[in-house]
């Protein structure tokens, strides 16, 4: 992508080139347009920036195992009882 920015290609041109190169595996249009906007602001890496706070996802092997134990212990456990016992949100 930085090569496209170096040659001042538009987001539409970058999208076309990536779709030609990668076909169905190319990133979606929205992603490519965001990348192009970031590069115009002189950003050189498009990976997510570090953010403070709790992770947006609470799925990990520890939580999966804990939920399975809860279900095996009490087959009548309801969905709303699980997140508070694990200290995670329900989103």
The string of pLDDT tens digits covering residues 18-75 is 999 999 898 899 988 888 888 777 766 666 666 666 665 656 788 888 889 999 999 8
Tokens matching residue 77: 């456990």
Q: How many CB atoms lie within 10 A of CB 18?
A: 19
Q: What is the pLDDT of residue 16?
A: 93
Q: What is the pLDDT of residue 63?
A: 81
Which sign, positive or negative, has the C-alpha torsion 66, 69, 74, 79? positive
Q: Is the pLDDT of residue 13 over 70?
A: yes
């Amino acid at each position: 992508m930085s090569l496209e920015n170096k040659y001042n290609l538009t987001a539409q041109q970058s999208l076309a080139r990536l779709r030609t190169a990668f076909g169905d595996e190319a990133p979606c249009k929205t992603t490519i347009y965001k990348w192009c906007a970031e590069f115009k602001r002189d950003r050189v890496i498009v990976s997510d920036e570090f953010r403070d706070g709790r992770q947006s996802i609470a799925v990990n092997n520890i939580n999966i195992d804990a939920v399975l134990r809860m279900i095996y212990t009490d087959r009548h456990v309801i969905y709303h009882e699980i997140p508070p016992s694990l200290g995670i949100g329900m989103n």
